Each structure stands twice: as C-alpha cells, then as structure tokens.
Structure 1
Amino acid sequence: MLHYTYLLINFFAVIVCFIFSFHPKIKFNRFFVPFIKSAVLVLIPFIVWDAWFTRMGVWWFNDTYLLGVRLLGLPVEEWLFFVCIPFSCVFTYFCLDKFFELDWKPKIDFYFSVLAIVLCLVCALLTVALIYPFITFLLTGLSLVYLKFIAKVSWIGKLSFVYTILLPGFFMVNGVLTGTGLDQPIVNYNSDHFMGIRIGTVPVEDAVYGYMMILWNIYFFKRFSEKYQ
C-alpha cells in the first residue's frame, strides 16, 4: 500500500476541486481544454528543470512510496503533480475571481509587483552559491518582470493574494511529500543545494517554486480561455 502514497497525495489534492468544477454555479468544466493546454505548456520546462535537478542530486525520490514507473528519470507521480496541483490552484483562483471582487488598483498592483521583483532578485544574489534557491528566485523574478512589463498583466497582486490563501494547503501537501507523518520523506533534498530553512518539513524555496508555477499556469489559462467566456 505504501507504493500508492504519492499517487494518493495527488488524488486527494485534486479530487474535491475536480468534483466541484461541474457545479452549475461554477461550470469550470467548460474550461478543461484551456486548462490542459496551459498545464502542458508549463509542465514542459518544469519537468526539464525537475529532471535536471534529480540527475544532479539536488533532490531525489524515495521508491518506497512510488509505483516504480519513471519517465525521464522522474516518477510518474511527479508528472501528475504538475497537473493536479495547478488544477486545484487555477480552479480556486477561478472561483474566487468569479464570486468576489479581488482586483487591485493598478498602482498598488504595480508597486507590489516591483517589490516582489526586487525581493526575488536580491534573494537570488544572496543565494548565488546554492543552486536551488538561486535559480528559483532568479526565474521567479524574471517571470514577474516579463508578466508585468512585457505581457502587462494586471492580476499579479490578485494572484498573489489567492496563492497566500492556498499556502496552508500547499504546505500540507508538500509537508507529506517532505516527510510529515511518514517514516521517511518521499522527496529528499541535498542540504548542500538549498538554504536549509524549512516551514515544518517544507523547504521555503518550494513556496517560491510553486508561486512561479502558478503564475505561468494562470497566465496561459487566461490566454487560452478567452474564447470560452
């Protein structure tokens, strides 16, 4: 039964959102196609990054909790993670945006975005010797630069607020993956490559990594779902 652990984590992370996506007041099922398109687009670079770091030994996976099927050196459950978690996050963003007025004033969104960019780039400079936080903070900062100043999106503050709401659930899921409640972690981290700051059992870098992943999922989801409105 232990071999199904990671698979069950993915299942329980997505099943409630999936069921409610068919609710007549939500009708998120109408947006499954744009979600799948956005998830696949974002999945590709993240899988490459994941496979690279796995090969380098930045992190690795405990076979005790896996089915044993691997693609590009990654457990199939890890591939599903990049679909299940974005689905729940995009669904939550969609619902909150649909039923509540969450838009930020343009100036506030602009200043928040600039602050987030500066913080990410400063953190990248401070962790240049540690590959996981350095790349995570750098790419998140550059992602924000692109989204705010090139794509000119107006929802970074709103998405950041929703992501903050989602963080407890994020830490619950990642907590189990990193060893909370288990005899051993499912995902192990090489202490030579990250800051060593954890919230519970979760490296703080994971929260930034997840934030960047959701930024791009929302960006492409909005692009692809325009004709479904």
Structure 2
Amino acid sequence: MRTEYTYLAIDLGSLIVPLIFSFHPKLLFYKKWAAFALSNLMVCMLFIPWDMYYTRLGVWGFNPAYLTGIHAGNLPLEEILFFICIPFSSVYTYHCLKLFFPAMREKVPHEVITLLLVFILMGTGFVYIQHIYTSVTFFVLSFTLILLTLFEVPWLPDFYFSYLVILLPFFIVNGILTGTGPDEPIVWYDDFENLGIRIGTIPVEDIFYGMLLLILNTALFEYFDRRFSKQHDLHKQSHTAVHAETMIESHTR
C-alpha cells in the first residue's frame, strides 16, 4: 500500500465491519443510522473547529507523507473522516454491548467512576492549566460528566462498559496514528501542550479526548434515538387506530 493512503485506510478499516454488520437481524443498527447521523453532525460542529484551531496553534499536526493531500481548511480529509468513522464504530459497539449485556448496567458503579474521573480530571486540569490540550480536554470532559450526572441519564453505566471494551481497538488505531508501526507518526503532538506522558506512543490526554468525543456522540444518539422511537410508536398507534376505525365502519354498513 502506498503510504499516502495510510490514514485513509485506518479510517475506512475501522468503519467497514460495523457498517456491514449493521444489517444483522439481531442488531438492526441500520435503523438507527439517522439518530447517529444527527448526533455525529452536531458533535462534528464542535470537534472539527476545535481541531482546526489546535492545528493552527501547533498543538498537533499531520505528516503529509501519510495523507492523500485533500484538505478542508487546514485539516486533511482523513482527519475529518476520523470524526465520523471512529464514532460510528464506537456507537455501534455501544449498541451491541448494550443489547447483549443488559445486566452490566447494574454491575458498573458509575457514580463512583464519575466522581473519581471528575476529581482527577479537574485537579490535573488546574495543576497543569498552562498545557492547553490537557487542561481544556480535562475541564470539558469533567463538566460533561457532571451535567450527565445531574440529568441522571440511565445509559451512563452502559457507556463506561463499552468504552472499556473500545479502549483495545483505540490503542491499536491511535498507536498507529501516533507512530507505532509507521516510520514516523501520522499525527504528531507538541508535548509542551500536554503532560508529556505517553502510553506507548499515545499521549495520555488522547484517552480522555476520545472519551469526550464518544460520550457526546452517545448522549445525542440516545436522545435522537428515543425521539425517533416515540415518533415511530405514535405513527404506528395512529395507523392502527385508523385501521380499526375503518374496519368498524365497514362492518356497520
């Protein structure tokens, strides 16, 4: 494979299996594509400008040797696809795990996990506030977790469980992007803007940046999925009522 297709191959490789298995009769995830599309569009409206700004600041950047050369503003096409392909595969995984392991909701101590995360992230963000990638990511994720807790969303335990599972492919994909395998990193970072702590080649902040990206996609996905399900149920009830009324009229004539 030519190196300029490396990042694109990573994006599409993460998408292909969830895309195909969306049509599995036990999953039927394709019926939830509309909910995902709306949620992902809204999250992209936050993350893509954020990415563009950090790229302009030099917080991170991209190695042109692994890119097709197609750009939108200062972002390569592959980076934009990343914000679509990775959330799609992750929300698909969340959907599957929620479907097949419903009992995990009762076993995950989500209140304790949230409290620990907020405490650690807030504290670290304040101590290292001069590192923009660290502080902004940690603060925004902390506030997001606090809001979700205040709204008492029932799916948070499912998300924590799915994110734990997702971390394995996350380390593989992000490892390749940050230099595990290729001769040079596909995505590079200015370590002055982060803690300088790496798991292999991956900045530790990426774990929480990824969590923020996926929890926002999941939150909006759950919201739109419920809305669409209610609309479908109301439409079905209305259709049933009309059909029943028609049958009654035909029998009374």
- 2:27 is matched with 26
CA contact (8 A) 1:13 1:88 kept: yes
Q: Within 2, Cα distance between the matches of 1:18 and 1:213?
A: 20
**Whole-Å separation in 2 of the counterparts to 1:104 and 1:142:** 24
- Number of the residue aligned with 2:146: 145
Q: Secondary structure in 1 aligned to 2:192?
A: coil
State the match for 1:170 in structure 2. 170
Matched, 1:201 2:168: no
Hey, what does 2:5 align to over in structure 1?
Answer: 4
Indicate the residue corresponding to 1:183 in structure 2. 183
SS of equivalent to 1:16: helix
- What is the distance in 2 between the residues matched to 1:122 and 1:158? 26
* Residue 123 (structure 2) aligns with: 122
2:106 corresponds, among 84, 104, 122, to: 104
Report how many residues are paired. Answer: 227
1:105: how far off? Answer: 6.6
Q: Call closer, same or farther: CA 1:147–1:133 in 2, change over 3 Å.
A: same
Which has the greater radius of gyration? 2
1:48 corresponds to 2:49: yes
Report the residue type matching 1:217 in the other structure: N
Which runs of 5 or more residues in structure 2 are unaligned?
Answer: 231-253
Q: Name 1:217's counterpart in structure 2.
A: 217
Give the conservation status (yes or no) of the 8 Å contact 2:175–2:200: yes
Instruction: Tell me how far 1:112 sits from its aligned partner.
Output: 2.7
Query: Do 1:9 and 1:173's aligned partners in 2 also have CA atoms closer than 8 Å?
Result: yes
> What's the TM-score once normalised by structure 2's chain length?
0.86
TM-score of the superposed pair, with normalisation by structure 1 = 0.95
Supply the AA of the counterpart residue of 2:189: Y
Cα displacement (A) at 1:154: 2.4
**Percentage identity across aligned positions?**
41
Q: CA deviation at 1:72?
A: 2.3
Inter-partner Cα distance in structure 1 for 2:175 and 2:117: 25
- What are structure 1's unaligned runs of at least 5 residues? none
Asked if 1:131 is matched to 2:113, the reply is no
1:120 Cα offset (Å)? 1.4
Q: Is 2:42 the counterpart of 1:37?
A: no
CA distance in 2, matches of 1:185, 1:111: 36
CA distance in 2 between counterparts of 1:125 and 1:5 reads: 37
| Structure 2: distance between partners of 1:78 and 1:109 | 31
Deviations 1:86-113 (A, max 9, x none): 011100010110111221379x433332
| 8 Å Cα contact 1:125/1:134 also seen in 2 | yes
